[in-house]
Chain A
Amino acid sequence: MSVAAIALAAASALQAPSPPTFAVGVEGVYVDVFVTDGNRPVVGLTASDFELRDDGTLQPVELVAVESLPMNTLLVLDTSGSVAGEKLVQLQAAARALLNGLRPDDEASLVTFDQEVRVRVPPTADRARLERGVNGILPGGATALLDALYAGTLLAWGPGPSLLVLFTDGEDNMSWLEAGDVRRVLLQSNVLVQAVGIVPAVEPTRYPNGAVRPPPEEPHARLLRQLAELTGGQYRPAAAPGQLAGAFLSILEAMKTRYVLRFDPGRSRREGLHEIEVKLVHRRGKVHCRKAYFAGPSR
């Protein structure tokens, strides 16, 4: 899950179906952190290898064992007309591979969207039911990507951190909500978005003087990347449908090798949006994590 900003004190209340409002001052905040060196995860780090600042203030952190955290996964899959054919076959295989990689007790749910957002399978640990849901997907219609991401985020937003795996093969053309609306809910929630798209590979431009200019990022790919990174997640472009399973499985791998930091901002924490920054101390590696979290009113 992306960074998890969770009110521990409110955790018991959060067992109710409604999502949490993070109370100020009495709880800890969880932050999912991915550390890579090149394309490889950096393993074996300890709490002392991290430096975390909340609105610029250095905070002591502790490391939470990933294995001890339940993982609630929500698959949000684009089933618009453009997904028909080979893409759908590969998407279904990729989704099944991801579901099979979850731990037996982990719950997952399935949401699909064309111009409409549908809950195909509500949260369950029943893999067979989830697979039936995946196998029953019929493509058709337009693409309400932002509406689906917004709805999925609110549905996934629960007492613990949640992983939202988003797949789309194209641009949004039917959402009511705007990108800014979705940014708002992503910042406020404790949902980690990992996005997968299909973007045909384009060769870079090679100039006579040897300079190489990478192709410009497609607007919808840029938007997906920005939204995923906002939550600490990543955007994984697949160049062809056959690469979808690899992209989905790499999400699972990243989740297993992530670090979960916890810090307690204390009673002085103000309500509203907090910027957070995580750095490595005396270690090499690139850090991916949520850039901000939202603290709700005190309760």
Chain B
Amino acid sequence: MADGGRLSNPRTGPGGRRSKHLAALLLLALAAPALAQRPDALSPAYEAVVRRYLSGDRQGAVAEMSGWPEHRLRDEMTALRALSQGAFACPYRCSAADRWAMTPVRAALMLHSDCAQRARAHGQSARLHESVAVELAGFMKDDPGHRAFVRRWYEATSALAQGEARWGEALDWADRGLLVFPDSVDLLLVRGSIEEALAAQAAPRASEDALLDAGARESRSQLLHAQEVRGHLATARRALRSVVTADPSRAEAHLRLGRVAWRLGEAAEARSVLVDVLARKPDPATAFLAHLFLGRLDEDDGRLDDAARSYEAALALEPRTQSARLALSHVRLRKGDAAAARREVETAVASAGRRAEPDPFWLYPWGPSVGVQERLEALRREASS
């Protein structure tokens, strides 16, 4: 950390004239080194609160830091910027590089991240601590020792926003991260899955005809909404294709590509992609969703027996899921057997609340955000080690 004396709390207390005189002297003594403080030195108070976070008292540190005014935080970032620039400017070892290496910037990054989360939890703006965190990440990204950490921090932060349905912010975080780490498949997956979710949200505002046929004779507003939906889907597809190009083993990206193709009305491509997902022997949840999505394609084609088989295959993997059970019920209804359709519904509702794990279809809109708290906690632990 920075050189210089540590700031103590200059409480005067209820003492007499002598104690006030001593306090004034102490203040002057403390102020002198501060006035002479180097421009690339963090204040002792900032150092102390980061150390507090580092020592394990995260809640206390977050509560303390949350009370800091913006100008103080900006001063600290100015010092950190100068320190990092000095450290990266010297060709070999130098005091700036040593001091940068000693600075627990990972803990500082997680501290400001947690302050932002705390602000949101209290219904306050998280903007200040988020912007400070981004600034810090900017200083750290060129340090080979921190680069991977910063990457995972961007991935977790964007996923956290996605998991809290802050879709626009999640996109911003993903885009910010992609500027620094353009080949991050996790960030691309966040981007693709959010665009997919945004398309699903906008879809009710666009009629089905307008969605699949831009030339359909629909009202202007519906066409605009349809364009919005198609725009989201096209962006999702680009991001997801980048994922599978960079890492063909990402089953989730393949699955989403299939679903996006279906939403775009490209059934043949959707089917091909989803069949390929199943051929890769994915985890049960991904296989369940691939069967479910294939069933919908079969239904759309009027191949009701095939659809029923797809839904039954999904149910064989996840027997108590309502999504697949209702899907099967709907096929039964389309086949003219209302009694069987009702029996499937009765089975579906009988399973309510009796699953150990959520229906994978319920987790699908949240994409890579599933498990993000564990990833954030791992980052905190790593920052504290």
Measuring CB to CB, which residues of chain A are less than 8 angstroms from any residue of chain B? Answer: 17-21, 111, 115-119, 142, 144, 147, 150-151, 154-155, 157, 171-174, 176-177, 179-181, 184-185, 188-189, 216, 219-220, 223, 296-297
Contacts and interface: CB of A to CB of B under 8 A. Distances in A.
Contacts of B324: 176
A171 B204 contact: yes
Given A21-B338, A176-B323, A223-B204, A150 B330 contact: yes
A180 B207 CA distance: 11
Contacts of A189: 338
A220 B204 CA distance: 7
Given A142-B362, A176-B361, A219-B205, A116 B339 contact: no
Nearest to B349: A119
A184 B326 CA distance: 14
Interface stretch (B12-20, B81-89, B340-348): B340-348
A188 B333 contact: yes
Interface residues of B, number: 32
Given A147-B326, A154-B341, 11 more contacts: A18-B338, A20-B338, A21-B337, A118-B349, A118-B352, A119-B352, A147-B323, A151-B345, A157-B338, A179-B204, A219-B205
A179 B211 CA distance: 14
Nearest to B364: A174
A173 B197 CA distance: 9
B208 A116 contact: no
B329 interface: yes
Interface in B314-362: 322-324, 326-327, 329-330, 333-334, 336-339, 341-343, 345-346, 348-349, 352-353, 359, 361-362
B342 A154 contact: yes
A115 B336 contact: no
A219 B333 contact: no
Interface of B: 201, 204-205, 208, 221, 292, 322-324, 326-327, 329-330, 333-334, 336-339, 341-343, 345-346, 348-349, 352-353, 359, 361-362, 365
A115 B362 contact: yes
Contacts of A176: 292, 322-324, 326-327, 361
Most B CB contacts (10 A, CB to CB) among A176, A219, A297 go to A176
B352 A297 contact: no
A65 to B, nearest CB: 28
Contacts of A118: 349, 352-353
B329 A154 contact: yes
Nearest to A115: B362
A116 B345 contact: no
B204 A181 contact: no
A172 B338 CA distance: 25
A99 to B, nearest CB: 20
Given A118-B349, A118-B353, A296-B336, A177 B330 contact: yes
Contacts of B336: 21, 296-297
